[in-house]
Amino acid sequence: MNGTINLTLKVWRQPGPGQKGKFEIYQAKDINIHMSFLEMLDVVNEELILSGKDPIAFDHDCREGICGMCGAVVNGKAHGPKKGTTLCQLHMRHFRDGDTIVIEPFRSKAFPIIRDLVVDRSAFDEIIIAGGYISVNTGSAPDANSIPVPPQNAELAMDAAACIGCGACVAQCPNGSAMLFVASKVSHLALLPQGRPEAAKRVLSMTGRMKELGFGNCGNERECEAVCPKQISISHIARLNREFLKAGLFSRET
């Protein structure tokens, strides 16, 4: 493969919330195949700025697959075609010379568009505020053996805690459901002894807030699992459902 490729970009442009948007066509020429997707957009934006046009607005921060800020739908897939990869980690060598790439924002009722590819994902923050924490005093680190945790539980909890809150699961779900996100937050605390005292309150509060914010219902489509950059399993949704059932049956929080 040559070191550079030429691409046609079909990019969603929308000047602001509630305003009409449309796809616009741009040519991305001589793109180094070792660039990340966001670096490619940087190059396109430089050309737009030099020609006196508004650059494409998109979210980004660490560009290391950690922060969860980046996100767009590329050719119908949240974060693009490569499995287990954030948009900032997607490299241009995964595309071919002459390809047309359709780039649009995450689309969900709960993620209103701010501008171009930027959406408001503060609904996730609201869900976390509703209960995604444990209320324990901070201080020095406890002794490692003071609270025994089965190794399998520790591993499952770490898998769930890997969620970076990017919102790809919501964007790809046909119903715009946030169940994988909420499940990962509920599951990783429910699996640990520190999270058990408030488990019932947590699951009821977080799922209740999720519904209030306009997220859809889970239809077990598994689209969320397929595009999750941290490859979080929908088995955590099953655990969320069990926690919700227990809380509804036995908790005073109802």
| Cβ within 8 Å of residue 116, ≥6 positions away | 11, 12, 13, 14, 56, 57, 58, 105
The whole-angstrom separation of Cα 184 and Cα 169 is: 11
Residue with tokens 């969603």: 12
The share of the chain scoring above pLDDT 90, in percent, equals 89
Q: Is 100 exposed, middle or buried (0-12, 13-18, 19+ CB in 10 A)?
A: exposed
Measured between alpha carbons, how far apart are the two ends of the chain, in Å? 61
Sign of CA dihedral 19, 58, 170, 167: negative
Same domain, 126 and 242: yes
| CATH, residue 38 | 3.10.20.30
Same domain, 110 and 126: no
| CATH, residue 179 | 1.10.1060.10
**Residue 1 pLDDT:** 52
Mean pLDDT confidence for 114-129: 97
Same domain, 146 and 98: no
50-62 confidence digits (pLDDT tens): 999 999 999 999 9
Q: Give a three-class secondary structure readout of 111-159.
A: ECEEECCEECCHHHHHHHHHHCCCCCCCCCCCCCCCCCCCHHHHHHHHH
Containing structural domain, residue 165: 121-250
The residue type found at 218 is C
Confidence of residue 142 (pLDDT cuts 50, 70, 90): confident
pLDDT at 165 over 90: yes
Instruction: Give the count of domains, the chain.
Output: 2
Same domain, 144 and 244: yes
Of 125-139, 158-172, 214-228, minimum mean pLDDT range: 125-139
Same domain, 97 and 125: no
Task: Please give the distance of CA 219 from its chain centroid, rounded to a whole number.
Answer: 18
Same domain, 139 and 103: no
Give this prediction's pTM.
Answer: 0.92
78-101 confidence digits (pLDDT tens): 999 999 999 999 999 999 999 999
| pLDDT, mean over the chain | 94
Domain termination residue (choose one: 114, 149, 183) = 114
The share of the chain scoring above pLDDT 70, in percent, equals 97
Mean pLDDT confidence for 193-217: 95
Same domain, 43 and 126: no
Same domain, 160 and 45: no
Same domain, 94 and 160: no
The whole-angstrom separation of Cα 229 and Cα 56 is: 23
Domain termination residue (choose one: 91, 114, 137) = 114
Domain termination residue (choose one: 114, 141, 173) = 114
Same domain, 169 and 203: yes
pLDDT at 127 over 70: yes
Same domain, 31 and 126: no
Same domain, 60 and 140: no
